[in-house]
Amino acid sequence: MTFLPVHAIVNLRMLFLLIGACCILVGVNGGWDEEVGLLRRGGGGAGGGYQREFNYFKLSLQWPGTYCRRTRRCCSSNACCSRSNSPPVFTIHGLWTEYNDGTWPSCCSGKAFDEREISTLLEPLRKYWPSLSCGSPRSCHHRKGPFWAHEWEKHGTCAYPVVHDEYEFFLTTLNVYFKYNVTEVLFEAGYVPSDSEKYPLGGIISSIENAFHATPELTCSGDALEELRICFYKNFEPRDCARDTSALSRGSCPQYVSLPAHGSWVLSVSTMRLNDQDQARNVKVGVPHLFALWTNRLEAAIQQQLLSLQNSLWLVQLI
């Protein structure tokens, strides 16, 4: 029997170790590093290199009434320009991955957005996850593209190992959005769209805390509530967003805030030509109509009942 010399065995060991290390770094799918719990950055974020696995999720919801009152031009992708695509509810901004230290991973793989992957989800996505602006946000690899592409490539690709692909990312986000219905919680507590009423910020926060047993995060534009964010553990059980809950996650919000009525800010587009090149520019926002509070409450209650029924039907279809 012939034995290899010691130096040859050592060289073979080194070769196998190098091959093994390369396999771990590359990963079986070219983006995820399952062995060491790191995510490869796809090139769209600062810093380069590898990113550690995230700690928790943040579901960011936007109030269309606040966003849409800043609208100055229309395009085919802007839901603010269409009443039919703009229900009086909080809509999804994104499902983000976060670290406990206040930072976050981004652009964790080179997997580009493909709308064909979510073709069966397009109807609820257009209604509950619409773009509320014109233009194309910058995503990873210095690309510009649709709103959904930005959210998937920047945030969704970092959701492994909880979320494995594009379809699962959007489906999961919709299910979490329907299950933790922020609009329903606030409407039932009396916080309904109004162009004249202002509500105590502490009351809004308390309503969310009582419903989900977790402290939310809020941001405002002036005195108007702009975004409300709910945070989750990786099993999608609610958790506090802010580590210092004594601050009540007030963010940029004053003591009293408004929920501008969305319908009153929708642009009149009957005489406008909408196109993908965003040619409809410099269109002034219409003057908002003032509604009595009781009218808002009645309309909101009816709409919310219809919305709850529709959401239940969507959940059945998505499961």
CA 88 from chain center: how many Å?
18
Two tokens, residue 149: 């592409």
User: What's the rounded Cα separation, in Å, for the pair 264 and 13?
Assistant: 72
Two tokens, residue 256: 């009293």
User: What's the rounded Cα separation, in Å, for the pair 134 and 138?
Assistant: 13
- List Cα–Cα distances, 195 to 58, 218, 287, 300, in angstroms: 29, 19, 11, 14
* b (16+ CB within 10 A) / e for 72-82: ebbbebbbbbe
The single residue of 53, 98, 150, 151 carrying the catalytic annotation is 151
Active site residue 141: no
* Bond from prior residue into 161 cis (ω within 30 degrees of 0): yes
The single residue of 93, 150, 226, 262 carrying the catalytic annotation is 93
User: Which helix (H) or strand (E) is 50 found in, with range?
Assistant: strand 50-52
The single residue of 53, 153, 155, 166 carrying the catalytic annotation is 155
Active site residue 93: yes
**For 215, left (φ over 0), alpha (ψ -120 to 50), or beta?**
beta
Residues forming a β-bridge with 229: 60, 217
Q: How many CB atoms lie within 10 A of CB 101?
A: 8
Active site residue 155: yes
Active site residues: 93, 151, 155
